[in-house]
Each structure stands twice: as C-alpha cells, then as structure tokens.
C-alpha cells in the first residue's frame, strides 16, 4: 500500500510540474556492513527491483547508484547473508547492515580441545544462542542455559543475588560425589567450588548457601556456549566428564576500525509471590476465640499486642539494580584485541541484601611468519562484594531471617517508641528486620582467570598448541552480631567472625592436531595431548564473642574471647590447607568419507592424587559414528529433506569431584585419649577416618543414539536423542563391622541408571526482508533408578527442619527406585477430634484410636522430586525496526516437600508464633502437632513465562553516521508462573543433605524469587 501511495504522489507531482520522469532520477550511496561485527562487506549485489540497473560494493563496502526516483526499491544480496529490500524514499545516503543466514552457514561448534563443523559432530553437543538468551536481568552464564538445552536441568537454590544453582545434565549420575558439570572457559577448566567463604552459624542458623562459581563472568563477554552431554563427547575430559561439560568461549577482537559497544540496563524487582501470614487482627481474633472455647489458657492473651504488623512486607522491598557494559574491539589482518569493563549493582528484594560486581576482560591474539605462528591471551578478573542477610534454608527452633518472619507475633510492633527494634525477650524468636539491618555480614571476592597460548603450524596440516592457564580467587567475609541483637546478646555480648578462603588452579596442556584430505573424499583429524592440573585450597577463620562495645565491629576481633573450633567442620577458630593434582594423556581421531560416513574415537588416561594408592590411574575410552543419509544418491529427489543424519556413540567417563582426603587415614584430637607428659596433661589423637588404598573413580558408561534433521531448506531443524547411562562404583559411606575405631568409611559400592529422551526443534516460520518469525522448542524426559547400594537396603537423607522435627529425614535411597524419593507416613485425613490419621501401612494396629503417631513400619514412598518431563519454548518476531520475543519454561510431575507449610501451616504453633493464614482453614485441633507426612508433599509442576522482551532498533545512523547500531528494549523476567504449589516458588533447592548424601526437592523458608522489569539500551559506534 505504501508503494502505491508513493507512486501516486510521485505521478501527481510530475503532472503538476510538467516534469519528465528522466529529470526525477536521484543518486543514492552508502556502506554495506555485517550486522554482527560491523565490518564492511565487499562484493554485495545491489539491484533496483524490477530492472537490470545495479552495482556491487567495493572493498570498503561502499556503493553508489542512480535510481529512477524515491519509489525505487533496492535489493541487497550477498552469499551467506539474508536478502534485504528497502524503498529509497527521499534519502541520498542509505547504509545497510546485512544479517548472516543461519541456514546457509555451516556452524562451527566448540568441542573438547578444539572445534568442528556442526555437520561433522558425531556425539551429543548442544549450543546456546547467546544473543537470543541474553535478555532481561541476566547476571551469569547459568541464566543463559536455563531451559534452552534439552536434557539440562537448572534449579536455582533460591532468589538471592549471586546465589548458586543445581545443574544436572541428563539426570544425577552420582549419589555422594558432585553432580555438577565441568565448566571450561576459553580452554581453562575452572573450580566449581564457591570462592566465597562460608557464613557464621549461631543459635542454629547460618548464612546463605554457596555462591555461583560463574559470578566472575560478564554474560556480555560470552561469544558461545556448547554443552557436551553424552560420554562420547565428554570422554576427552576423562575423570571430570561424568556430569557433562559446559564450554564457554568469550568474544575476540575484530579486524577493521575501532568499534565501541555500550549496553546499559536498569531494573526494578519485587517478590513475584509471597506467602500470606495471619494479620494482627486475625491472630488476635483466633487466640481470643480459642481462649473462649477453652482450648487455650487465659494467659495466652498476655502475648497479644495492639499492632497489626506485616513482618514479611517489612523485610521486602522494590529492589533497583543497574548494569553497565562497555567494550572496545579492533585489529589488523594479523592482530586483534577486545577489552571490556562491566559494572553490576544488584539489590536483593530482601532489605540489606545485594551484590556489587566489577569485571574486566582482555582478549588479544596476533599472527607472525605469514600466519604460521599465533599467540593469544585471554584474561578476566572480577571483584564481587556480597551483602548477605542472616538467611538459611535449614535450621532448628531458632532459625534464620525468613524463619523469624514466619515466627514473629503480628500483634507486636516493628519498632518501639524509641525507634529501637521490638524484641520479644526470647532468643528463639528475633525481630526479622533487626536481623537484616543490625547484623553486618559482608563478603569480598576477587577472582582472576586467564590463559596464554602459542599455536604453530609445524607442517602442512600439523599444528602444535601449548596453553598455560590459571584460576586464582581470594575471598574474605566479615560478620558481626551487635550487643543489642538477641543473637549477639545470647553470645555473651556481641559475636564476630572473619574468614578467609583462597583457591588456585594451574592448568597446562599441549596438543598436536593433524588434519588432511586424501584420495579426494577421505578426511581425517588426529589429536594428541598432555594436561596437568594442580588445585590448592587454604582457609583460615577466627571467631570471638563477649565484646564491650559495638564500635570495633569485627575489625578488632581480639578484643573479645576467642572461640575454639575445628578445621574439619570449619567452625570457631580454624585453619587448613589441601592440594591435589590431576595428570592426563589424551587423544582423539575423527574420520569421514565424502561427508557421508563419520567415525570418531577418543581415549584419556587420568591420574589423580585424590584416590587410593592402588587406583590412582584409569582409562576412559569413547567412540561414535554417524551416517548422513541426506547425502546419499537415493535422497537426491527428496526435496523437502535438506539434512538427515543418524548417529550413535558409547563412552566411559569418571567422576573425581570428591573431598581430597577420602582415601587417607585421618587423625583428630580426642579428649578420651590423654597422657601426662612432664607435669601437664596432653590430649591425644584418634582415628577419624580409615584409609582406603583401593578407593577409585566412579565410572559412568553411556550409550546415545540420535537423529539430526533439516527440512524445507533448513526452515525446520532439530534433533532427537535417546540415551542410557549406568554409573558404577559409587562412592558411598558404609558401616564398618564393630569393634573398630570408626563406625563408617567410604568405599566403591552401588550403581545408578539414567534413561531419557532429548528433543530440540527450531522453525524459521517467516524469513522476509522486513519480517521474521523464529520458534524453538526443547523437551526432555529422564528416568532415574538406583540399581544397587552395595548390599544396603536403605540410605536416608534430607533433614526435616522445624520445631519437633529433630532426627527426621524426608528422602530415601533404595534399590529399584529413583534417587531419591520422599519417604514417610501416608496422610489420610483429619478425624472429628482434630487428629491427623495416617495409613497403617504395616497393619500392625499401632494407630490405636487413630491418634497415635505412626511407627517406622508405616513409612512408605510418598513422592518423587524429579519431573516426569521438562520443556522450554521460545519465539522471536521481528517486523522492520521492531521485535518481540518470549520464553516459556515448564516442568511436569515434579513434587516438593513444603517444609515451610509443615512447620507454619498448622495451629499448634499458636499462640507463641505466627502461622500461614490457610492453617485456620484446616480441621486440625490446636494441640495437634506438626508431623512429617505425605500431607506436605505437593505437586510442584509449573509453566512459567520466563521472559518477554520488546525492542526497537531506530535507524540513528541516518542522522549520526558514527553510530553503528542502536537498540532500546523493555524486558520482564518471571512474568507469571502457573503452579499448584503453595510456597514462594516451585523452583527451589534447600541444602538439607546429611553427611555426603545430598538432598533435593525440599523447600524451607527460602529467599523469594523476584519479578524483574528491565529497561535497556545497546549502542554501537
């Protein structure tokens, strides 16, 4: 329509002026560049639509052309890029940025110790579109992966800024060892352990869980993310590849003029969901009603005040955050560099919590001797300052910040008339706002990661590479409980601690890589290498109490009384240092014939100091194959199939992510063993742990078969994969026959199996010059089963928190069932007397009168914290200068133990503490105590609109030629969640493990998850 109107107006103007069309011609010129890099594109074809008039760009991407008039339509086309059409209009200068056509480019995929064309990969490797994922309030690399890779489950521990997450690739492959993947940044494997020191426990509560190990990395510096999912892909990493590998590559410099990119984001966040507690009026009315009914003594009214305080609302806030990123990139034909600086200031939605981070990064590379020698440097450093709140996911009757929010009497004021925090006088219930604002808990972490490499083309096809990398972090945490705070007061007048933690890793590897094509259709690639890793950790902590003033805080810690402690559990005053080494030899061979038939094999030989003297070395082989069916002659006439590959692989990998000293005999001071030396009594030592010289790796064997497909000229692309993996020689704690100096020791016993299906699909629904629509879907399902526990029938974990729950465990490990399952009494109903009734599972009649608490024989499997399946759906629609994207995630069949509801969802807590408002709707008697059962196992299935983003890309370059590109966007994270779960959020993971056995699927007073609105701008110069 616009063209018709333009033509009519043009014709009318000609009639009015009597002008001839020949005199209406106009000249137009400009520059054509790459939309991603900004580099000029030489040889671009430019044609006036419907004519033979045209030209091509020169070496600098410049062109000039005479067109019939403003109604002319120019068509820009270039091999490997999408065709672009535009009406000239009144413009005489017209610059165009062409986007790469993903369907025409054979994508390069990063794999272990190298890269391959996507079409040559025979194992299970998934990639993340970083530009597509980096929207909204993304603060670390985990956010880029969540819900975007089939078979990868990312579960945040909580909503705290900088908080960690549990990441599992194709299910949990271990029980006692780590299930987290190996992260490799620019070729350097990093230490997954938190660089921030642990918090101080006081009165049964401690600080927040570990921080995210990827907090050091600015997401805007990330170029690509590859996820190696199956053993045939990860076996090249041997003993560290059992849980998958995440390869992160950062952005390099560019050839050409200096380019400057800036991105700024401002965000406002608030709690996406809250739990409704009794208001002061509801609390008073209920207590008075129970007194009148004779269910509570008259003295219960003594605890009632006249206020109506919402203590949850008091600690929550609208959190304002800002993020600024600026990068500089340039280079010549032989040398390029990129430098960036980023600043993030993220407030938490709980007052006095937040994170501040500064990162700086430099990537540089150069070539010499006609490009045969290449040198490179990748370096990043990050300074992170954490403002913690006195929060934890587990605890006894005293608990942490959120526990006291639920506990505190809402009829009491937040502050006294003097402005001080109102306290009950009981150390078991503390003013939550006072805990947040009075307790000083600050952490500072500095982490530097980098590597330098030298690459030489020795002869045609043979390249040698050596790389030296390091990962160094130092963390300090200072904590102080003032004299006025109940925690500090209970400690004899103030409580302080300082803790330092240092971690360092040295990584060296050297490789030889040979590639060649012979007899025209035979292509080979051979890799051989050696790698050395050394890990060094040390920590020191000091704790003191009994201060006379708050003025010195934790900085003059010696003015109090030093608290003794133990290095084994890192409490009180302690210090320790430990080191371990990993030495490896590896090789890989890839072969393909005529790009139809592919074979790949790898082997790694690892030696680790962590394992027993008799089992320090192990071999990890893998092989895979693929058949590109679409390249066969019989597929020539099947036009709708553009790509079809069948592949399969098998591999064996290990898991060495265990404590350093599990194979060694360990002594510790023991007061039961004393001796008189001279005139003094000396404390002796006793065995804490038996030596196990036979301790060896956990070993995972995995088989995968997959189908990659592309239909309708790659408009529809994706993959389907089926896998099964068995983990054997699990590291478990077993009972030692007595009498013996210790009760248990760790040995290789047991096995676990995972079976599943991964599906990925991308559909380029619309591809036009001014309009595009892309849809994407990932789906996965995983079935987990414990095959053997080394002769043990049951192992329990998952401590239940709250009053009266000491000694309770919520999770069971048993052969024939998933790892783990919820195990406890089956709740049936509440009878007329207000008592809970449970299933007499063992039919022993112990539920006499339906009021007796069930015995051990009445416990049974009552739920599964693992989802039946999970999925992610994304959509991107662009029309001219506007765009809108949406991302949806979900899990189905997942169950959670709502430990918060167990403790605060029944009336028995009244009138001493508050309860969840829904507790008043239950028929339970007021004296009916909370009991762990299936009643508190809830369906936590959910579907979440994770992000929606609106963007506008104005053509500012028309008026300001120095501006390369502009983008303004408005984004909303965690828009809404549909779930039957009654807690803050269905995606949480409280750390409630017992011993070496982790727990999953437990929610207890977790830090709430935020809904975040972000306004941002991208500018390129």
Please spell the DSSP secondary structure of 307-327, one letter per residue.
Answer: ----HHHHHB--EEEEEEEEE
Of the candidate ranges 248-262, 330-344, 523-537, 638-652, the one whose mean pLDDT is the lowest: 248-262
Spell out the SS3 assignment of 380-449.
Answer: EEEEEEEECCCCCCCCCCCCCHHHHHHHCCCCCCCECCCCCECCCCCCCCCCHHHHHHHCEEEEEEEEEE
Judged by phi (left if over 0) then psi (alpha if -120 to 50, else beta), residue 179 lies in alpha
The answer on pLDDT for 20 being more than 50 is: no
Judged by phi (left if over 0) then psi (alpha if -120 to 50, else beta), residue 401 lies in alpha
The answer on pLDDT for 984 being more than 50 is: yes
pLDDT value at position 392? Answer: 65
pLDDT in tens, 76-89: 887 667 788 888 88
**E strand or H helix that includes residue 760:** strand 751-767
pLDDT value at position 12? Answer: 41
The answer on pLDDT for 977 being more than 90 is: yes
**Alpha-carbon span 369 to 449, nearest angstrom:** 29
pTM of the model: 0.84
The answer on pLDDT for 16 being more than 70 is: no
pLDDT value at position 568? Answer: 63
Q: Are 946 and 977 in contact (CB under 8 A)?
A: no
**Alpha-carbon span 863 to 823, nearest angstrom:** 7
% residues pLDDT > 70 (the chain): 92
pLDDT value at position 846? Answer: 63
Q: Are 326 and 430 in contact (CB under 8 A)?
A: no
**Alpha-carbon span 432 to 1007, nearest angstrom:** 13
Give 536's pLDDT tier (boundaries 50, 70, 90): very high
Q: Is the peptide bond before 916 cis (omega within 30 degrees of 0)?
A: no
Cα dihedral 171→172→174→179 (10° resolution): 110
pLDDT in tens, 454-486: 999 999 889 999 999 999 999 999 888 888 777
Decide the pairing of beta strands 182-185 and 245-250: parallel
**Alpha-carbon span 964 to 38, nearest angstrom:** 7
Q: Please give the distance of CA 630 from its chain centroid, rounded to a whole number.
A: 37
CB atoms closer than 10 angstroms to residue 219:
22
CA angle 379–192–790, rounded 5-degree value: 155
**E strand or H helix that includes residue 289:** helix 280-292
pLDDT value at position 845? Answer: 67
Q: Residue with structure tokens 């009168």?
A: 849
**Alpha-carbon span 200 to 893, nearest angstrom:** 37
Give 679's pLDDT tier (boundaries 50, 70, 90): confident
What single string gives the DSSP state of each residue in 506-565?
EEEEEEEEEEEEETTTEEEEEEEEEEEEEEEEEEEEEEEE--S-STTTTTTGGGSEEPB-
Backbone dihedral angles phi then psi of residue 414, each to the nearest 5 degrees: -75, -40
Q: Is the peptide bond before 820 cis (omega within 30 degrees of 0)?
A: yes
The pLDDT mean for the chain works out to 86
CB atoms closer than 10 angstroms to residue 356:
18
Q: Are 840 and 846 in contact (CB under 8 A)?
A: yes
Of the candidate ranges 110-124, 202-216, 427-441, 486-500, the one whose mean pLDDT is the lowest: 202-216
* Number of residues that make up the chain: 1021
- Of 522, 507, 696, residue with least CA distance to 598: 522
Tokens of 188: 């350097």
**Alpha-carbon span 568 to 561, nearest angstrom:** 22
How many alpha carbons fall within 13 Å on the CB side of residue 303? 24
Give 394's pLDDT tier (boundaries 50, 70, 90): low
Question: Which range among 134-143, 499-508, 998-1007 has the greatest average pLDDT?
Answer: 499-508
pLDDT value at position 3? Answer: 45
pLDDT in tens, 176-205: 888 889 999 998 888 887 778 877 654 433
Tokens of 534: 């050394």
**Alpha-carbon span 73 to 60, nearest angstrom:** 23
Q: Are 728 and 701 in contact (CB under 8 A)?
A: yes
pLDDT in tens, 900-948: 999 999 888 888 889 999 999 999 999 888 889 999 999 999 999 999 9
Q: Output 75 or 851, whichever has higher pLDDT.
A: 75
Q: Are 235 and 703 in contact (CB under 8 A)?
A: no
pLDDT value at position 852? Answer: 55
pLDDT in tens, 840-859: 887 776 654 455 566 777 89
Tokens of 474: 């130092």
The answer on pLDDT for 649 being more than 80 is: yes
Q: Which residues contact 446 (CB under 8 A, 6 or more apart)?
A: 381, 382, 383, 384, 473, 474, 475
pLDDT value at position 14? Answer: 35
% residues pLDDT > 90 (the chain): 43
pLDDT value at position 22? Answer: 40
pLDDT in tens, 721-778: 999 999 999 888 777 777 777 777 788 888 999 999 999 999 999 887 788 899 999 9
Q: Please give the distance of CA 722 from its chain centroid, rounded to a whole number.
A: 24
**Alpha-carbon span 514 to 526, nearest angstrom:** 5
CA angle 841–842–845, rounded 5-degree value: 95
Q: Output 321 or 135, whichever has higher pLDDT.
A: 321
């Amino acid at each position: 329509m616009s063209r018709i109107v333009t033509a009519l107006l043009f014709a009318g103007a000609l009639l009015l002026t009597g002008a001839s069309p020949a005199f209406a011609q106009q000249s137009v010129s400009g520059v054509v560049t790459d939309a991603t890099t900004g580099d000029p594109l030489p040889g671009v074809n430019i044609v006036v639509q419907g004519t033979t008039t045209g030209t091509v760009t020169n070496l600098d991407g410049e062109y000039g052309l005479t067109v019939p008039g403003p109604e002319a339509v120019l068509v820009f086309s270039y091999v490997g890029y999408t065709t672009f059409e535009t009406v000239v209009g009144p413009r005489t200068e017209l610059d165009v940025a062409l986007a790469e056509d993903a369907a025409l480019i054979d994508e390069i995929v990063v794999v272990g110790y190298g890269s391959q064309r996507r079409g040559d990969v025979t194992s299970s490797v998934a990639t993340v579109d970083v530009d597509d994922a980096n929207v909204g309030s993304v603060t670390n690399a985990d956010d880029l992966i969540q819900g975007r890779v089939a078979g990868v489950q990312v579960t945040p521990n909580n909503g705290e800024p900088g908080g960690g997450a549990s990441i599992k690739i194709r299910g949990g492959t271990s029980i006692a060892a780590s299930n987290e993947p190996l992260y490799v940044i620019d070729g350097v494997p990093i230490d997954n352990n938190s660089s921030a020191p642990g918090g101080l426990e006081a009165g049964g509560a401690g600080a927040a869980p570990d921080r995210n190990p990827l907090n050091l990395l600015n997401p805007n510096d990330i170029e690509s993310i590859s996820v190696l999912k199956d053993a045939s892909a990860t076996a090249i990493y041997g003993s560290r590849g059992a849980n998958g590998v995440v390869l992160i590559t950062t952005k390099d410099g560019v050839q050409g003029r200096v380019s400057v990119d800036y991105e700024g984001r401002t965000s406002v966040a608030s709690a996406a969901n809250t739990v409704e507690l009794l208001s002061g009026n509801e609390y008073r009315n209920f207590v008075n009603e129970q007194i009148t009914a004779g269910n509570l003594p008259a003295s219960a009214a003594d605890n009632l005040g006249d206020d109506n305080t919402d203590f949850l609302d008091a600690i929550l806030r609208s959190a304002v955050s800002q993020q600024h990123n600026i990068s500089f990139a340039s280079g010549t034909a032989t040398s390029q560099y990129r430098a960036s600086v980023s600043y993030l200031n993220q407030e938490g939605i709980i007052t006095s919590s937040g994170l501040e981070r500064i990162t700086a990064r430099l990537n540089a590379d150069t070539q010499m001797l006609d490009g045969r020698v290449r040198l490179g440097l990748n370096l990043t450093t990050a300074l992170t300052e954490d403002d913690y709140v006195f929060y934890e996911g587990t605890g006894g009757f005293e608990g942490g910040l959120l526990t006291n929010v639920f506990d505190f009497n809402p009829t009491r004021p937040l502050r006294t008339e003097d402005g001080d925090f109102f306290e009950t006088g009981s150390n078991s219930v503390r003013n939550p706002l006072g805990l947040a604002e009075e307790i000083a808990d600050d952490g500072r972490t500095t982490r530097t990661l980098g590597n330098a490499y030298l690459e030489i083309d020795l002869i045609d096809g043979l390249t040698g590479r050596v790389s030296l990398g390091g990962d160094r972090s130092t963390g300090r945490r200072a904590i102080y409980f003032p004299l006025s705070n109940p925690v500090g007061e209970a400690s004899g007048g103030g409580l302080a601690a300082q803790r330092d933690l240092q971690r360092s890793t040295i990584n060296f590897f050297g490789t030889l890589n040979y590639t060649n094509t012979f007899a025209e259709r035979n292509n080979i690639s051979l890799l051989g290498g050696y790698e050395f890793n050394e890990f060094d950790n040390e920590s020191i902590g000091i704790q003191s109490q009994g201060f006379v003033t708050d003025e010195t805080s934790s900085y003059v810690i010696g003015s109090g009384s030093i608290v003794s402690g133990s290095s084994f559990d890192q409490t009180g005053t302690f210090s320790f240092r430990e080191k371990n080494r990993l030495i490896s030899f590896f090789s890989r061979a890839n072969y393909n014939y005529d790009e139809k038939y592919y074979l790949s094999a790898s082997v790694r030989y690892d030696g680790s100091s962590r394992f027993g003297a008799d089992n320090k070395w192990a071999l990890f082989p893998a092989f895979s194959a693929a058949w590109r069916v679409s390249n066969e002659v019989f597929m020539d006439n099947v036009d709708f199939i553009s790509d079809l590959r069948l592949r399969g692989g098998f591999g064996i990998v290990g898991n060495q992510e265990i404590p350093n000293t599990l194979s060694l005999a360990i002594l510790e001071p023991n007061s039961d063993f004393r001796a008189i030396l001279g005139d003094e009594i000396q404390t002796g030592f006793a065995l804490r742990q038996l030596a196990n010289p036979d301790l060896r790796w956990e070993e995972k064997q995995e088989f995968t078969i997959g189908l990659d497909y592309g239909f309708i000229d790659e408009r529809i692309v994706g993959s389907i994969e089926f896998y099964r993996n068995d983990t054997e020689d699990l590291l478990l704690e077993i009972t030692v026959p007595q009498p013996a100096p210790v009760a248990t020791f760790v040995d290789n016993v047991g096995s676990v199996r995972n079976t599943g299906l991964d599906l990925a699909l991308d559909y380029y629904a619309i591809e036009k010059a001014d309009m595009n629509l892309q849809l994407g879907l990932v789906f996965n399902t995983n079935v987990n089963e414990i095959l053997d526990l080394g002769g043990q029938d049951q192992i329990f974990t998952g401590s239940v928190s709250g009053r009266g729950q000491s000694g309770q465990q919520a999770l069971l490990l048993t052969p024939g069932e998933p790892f783990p399952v919820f195990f406890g009494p089956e709740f049936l109903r509440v009878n007329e007397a207000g008592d809970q009734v449970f299933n007499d599972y063992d039919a022993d009649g112990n539920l006499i009168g339906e009021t007796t608490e069930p015995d051990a024989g009445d416990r049974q499997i009552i739920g599964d914290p693992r989802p039946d399946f999970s999925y992610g759906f994304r959509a991107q629609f662009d029309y001219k200068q506007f765009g809108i994207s949406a991302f949806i995630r979900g899990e189905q069949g997942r169950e959670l133990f709502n430990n918060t509801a167990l403790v605060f969802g029944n009336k028995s807590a009244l009138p001493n503490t508050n309860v969840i408002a829904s507790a008043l709707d239950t028929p339970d008697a007021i004296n009916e105590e909370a009991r762990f059962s299936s009643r508190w196992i809830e369906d936590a299935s959910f579907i979440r609109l994770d992000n929606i983003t609106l963007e506008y890309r104005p053509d500012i370059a028309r008026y300001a030629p120095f501006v390369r590109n502009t983008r303004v966007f408005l984004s909303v994270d965690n828009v809404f969640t549909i779930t039957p779960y009654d807690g803050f959020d269905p995606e949480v993971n409280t750390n409630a493990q017992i011993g070496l056995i982790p727990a999953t699927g437990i929610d207890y007073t977790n830090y709430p998850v935020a809904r975040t609105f972000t306004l941002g701008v991208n500018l390129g110069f």
